[in-house]
Structure formats: C-alpha cells, structure tokens
Structure 1
C-alpha cells in the first residue's frame, strides 16, 4: 500500500477570522471554496479549513467545540527569511509563540498561532 498525503483540514471556530489569517495575513491563494470549506494552494499539499459545525454535520464525527487547550500537531511553512517573516506577522498582530532560533542542524525555526491556536511553524528548509 502506498499512501500519498494530499491535504490537511483544520477545524475552525470563526470562519471569517481564519480566512483573514490564512488568505489575508499569510497570503495563501484560495484554490477552491464551497461555503465554509476552503482549500488553499500551498504547493504539493493543500491546506484546508472548515468550521467545526460543518464538519460535524457532514461527517457525523464527534468534533469538539472550541479550541483545544493543548496541541498535538503543527503546520509548517518553509520561508527564505524566518526573522523577516516573523517581524511581518508581528506587525499584523499575529500571536508569536516562539521567536526565531537556529537549531543545531542549521535550520531556523519560529512558531506562531492561528486564530484557533493551531501551531504554525515558520522555518527555513533543512539543508
């Protein structure tokens, strides 16, 4: 069996605020939108958002309301200049969780949060 990752869907509380974050602040182009389901073009992997309410109705899965008090994953974006990107995000009011730091393997990494508290890693590629 060969599995190929094509997309990740984030469940969100405030659709408009989250759209503003990913489209307006991060500048991700919208690939497709159907009501509260949106796909952003991020390259090989599509990042999608949908409201918790809509996901619950569509799937019948037990989708908890509200943001989780802890996170168990992160979404990562590779950029050329982490320090400049973090400064731009800071000026736009994005919550900075961890300032840029260079790891022992040479990668520069920082963390921000989206409106639902999902961890977003902003990093350079691994050399």
Structure 2
C-alpha cells in the first residue's frame, strides 16, 4: 500500500520560501541539505528545492519557466482559521481569500507563498 510521505515544492528562491514556511507558518526544519530542505508539517514532509537545482538533484528533465502555474494547492488544518489568518497577516503574509464558511461547514481561507502557490488554511473535515 502506498502512503504519501512528502511533497517537493519547486521554488524560485529557497531562502525566501524557507523563511515563509518556517517563520511565517511556524514549521520546523527537519533536514537541510543545501539546495534541498525538508520541513516537518506533521504527517507529511514538505520539501523545498530551488527550480534551478531540480534537474541536477533529480536527474529528471525540468524546464523552469518564469510564469506561475497554479496547478495545485497545499492545505493546512487549524482549529481557528480566522485567528490564524490574522496572525499571518500581522507577519506580512499576503491573504488571497478571506475566511469563509463553505456550505458543508468547513471554514476556508487562502494565502500565498513567495512564489504565489496557493496555501489553504482550513478547519478540519474530521468529525
């Protein structure tokens, strides 16, 4: 059986992204390997690698493009979405969508990381 253990996010500036995920969002670094950094987010590791180093590290063909591509979002669960968004705003994090309660009862908001990736801040769907 497969289990998701980590997600690798390609970023334009490793230091800016590392600062965002560790200082603004408050996640600890799990491992720093120079051009590849792992962040402990709980069950899943979020790894960061600068786009310019992807091909060298992975051996895979990768074409870096300057335009942003919104093909996924990263979701983080919190007990109090409104308070979390306000705390992030105070830290200078760009709020893309203010908290709203969805018809199914979940509260959801969005912020952007330094590369413009969508970060969902939401309440749990667990009963």
Q: With the length of structure 1 as denominator, give the TM-score of the two structures.
A: 0.92
Partner of 1:70: 69
Classify the secondary structure of the residue corresponding to 2:99.
Answer: strand
Spell out structure 1 runs of 4+ moving beyond 4 A: none
**Cα displacement string for residues 30-50 of structure 1 (whole angstroms, at most 9, x for unaligned residues):** 111100211111111111101
Classify the secondary structure of the residue corresponding to 1:10.
Answer: strand
The answer (yes or no) to whether the contact 2:68–2:115 under 8 Å persists in 1 is no
Unaligned runs of 5+ in 2: none
Unaligned runs of 5+ in 1: none
Classify the secondary structure of the residue corresponding to 1:44.
Answer: coil
Classify the secondary structure of the residue corresponding to 2:92.
Answer: coil
Backbone CA RMSD of aligned residues: 1.4
Classify the secondary structure of the residue corresponding to 2:61.
Answer: coil
After alignment, is 117-126 or 55-64 more displaced? Answer: 55-64
Structure 2 CA distance for partners of 1:68 and 1:61, relative to 1, 3 Å: farther
Partner of 1:29: 28
After alignment, is 36-45 or 102-111 more displaced? Answer: 36-45
Corresponding residue pairs, total: 126
Classify the secondary structure of the residue corresponding to 1:89.
Answer: helix
